[in-house]
Amino acid sequence: MAVALGLCALLAVVAPLLRARDAPRMDARELIQVAARQNRTIAALQQRLQSKAAPRAATPNEPPRAPPPAVLAPRRVDVEPPQHAWRPVDVKKDDWVVYLRAQKTGSQTLWTTLLDVFDGSMWGMRRCVRGPFCGHRCEQVLKDAFLAASKSRKCHLFVRAHANLYDYERAFSTVNGGRILYLAFLRDPVKRALSEHNHITNGLVAQFGPHVFGKAWDYDFTDTTKASLADWLDCAPCRVGASNRQARFLAGLGTTGDLVAGEGTESGDARLYAEAARHLKACAFVGVLDRFEDAMRLLKETFPGPLRNFRSFADAPHPKLGRRVTPDPLAVARLRLLNAVDQRLYEEAQSLFDARFAGMVAATRTTQRFRKRGRRYVLS
């Protein structure tokens, strides 16, 4: 670029002078004027060359610009793979495998499958036990479970509780050593919320009878005269289930079943998303429900040791889902707005899953998938 500008400068100076030399009627005064114009041209071109070689000074309202990189600058090399990259996990004796089991995300199939196929020999028993169950303010329940498992050589596999990252992290502070390997499974937020509403108003009633109507994990919605989706969205205590439940599970900003401080405001929702997305990327495994069979394949390869014998699973939807009611479109539109943070997080999870699944396929050179065979999904 500097060479080209230099040639342009030379031509800009020489050409007018040549024309001036050949002009028979140009007197000395006119030649002096031509020379002065060319001097001004040279000064302007020199200034342009200097501005190309050095960074422009910042104005008072503008941060200073970094100098341009060298043409042959070496490519940056990361010591650790980026968090979206896939890699298998070597589970150690002191490690804990924890499923952040958000409601209505296909969790019934996942946790029952893990109990069947996860080899806990490293912890002293091949078949793992169910572990604690909790769905509301779970810190103390999890503390007791961590201590019990540490003392009695039980499996370090916690997959049954509807407990969030905040409660797990605070409970884990009582354990000496080791690390938590988190599993997360996400679902389209509107479909997830609709499924939760249907579960507490129809599914539980179909399974256990009318006395359980509206009895959710962390709130009650028990007025049978107001059971519609719109009624549910108007129920203040139900907001923990109707809006951004998945982001709240991963953000680590408050106990299970409570809203996060500032939630529903622009700054509060931004903080909720940022923390949830950060923890999502740090999870050892992330699955998405709309690619469930591929997610189970990714799960197997992510834990190749304890899941080496994982070759099939049965779909385990919640029993007796009851009658399904077509939701009101206006209520669905409102539900979509209430789950804006979850929607962003779900899109992040989809991108993360796609990248890790592609990385797994490339690294393992596998062509196998879990495919439906009768009532089971079989690896083939």
The CATH number covering residue 160 comes to 3.40.50.300
The pLDDT of residue 368 is above 70 = yes
The pLDDT of residue 349 is above 60 = yes
Please indicate, yes or no, if residue 43 is contained in any of the structural domains. no
Element spanning 39, H or E: helix 28-53
Structural domain count, the chain = 1
The pLDDT of residue 55 is above 50 = no
The pLDDT of residue 227 is above 90 = yes
Region 166-186: mean pLDDT is: 92
Please indicate, yes or no, if residue 90 is contained in any of the structural domains. no
Q: How far, in Å, CA of 6 to CA of 46, rounded? A: 9
Q: How far, in Å, CA of 71 to CA of 51, rounded? A: 18
- Could you tell me the residue range of the domain that residue 140 belongs to? 96-379
Please indicate, yes or no, if residue 74 is contained in any of the structural domains. no
The pLDDT of residue 314 is above 70 = yes
The pLDDT of residue 34 is above 50 = no
% of the chain beyond a pLDDT of 70: 77
Please indicate, yes or no, if residue 334 is contained in any of the structural domains. yes
Please indicate, yes or no, if residue 70 is contained in any of the structural domains. no
pLDDT digits (tens, 9 = 90+) for 103-142: 999 999 999 999 999 999 999 888 898 889 999 999 999 9
Q: Is the separation of the CB atoms in 346 and 189 below 8 Å?
A: yes
The Cβ of residue 269 has, within 10 Å, a number of other Cβ atoms equal to 19
Region 325-331: mean pLDDT is: 87
Region 246-270: mean pLDDT is: 97
Region 230-252: mean pLDDT is: 97
Q: Select the more confidently predicted residue: 247 or 77.
A: 247
pTM of the model: 0.77
The pLDDT of residue 297 is above 80 = yes
Residue-level pLDDT at 88: 96
The pLDDT of residue 53 is above 50 = no
User: Which tokens belong to 183?
Assistant: 């599993």
Please indicate, yes or no, if residue 321 is contained in any of the structural domains. yes
User: Which tokens belong to 301?
Assistant: 């390869």
Q: Select the more confidently predicted residue: 287 or 5.
A: 287
Residue-level pLDDT at 130: 84
- Band of pLDDT at residue 321, cut at 50, 70 and 90: low
Residue-level pLDDT at 277: 98
Closest C-alpha among 158, 159, 326, 338 to residue 235: 338
Please indicate, yes or no, if residue 251 is contained in any of the structural domains. yes
Please indicate, yes or no, if residue 276 is contained in any of the structural domains. yes
Q: Select the more confidently predicted residue: 329 or 177.
A: 329
Give, in degrees to the nearest 5, the angle at Cα 178 between 358 and 83.
Answer: 25
The pLDDT of residue 57 is above 80 = no
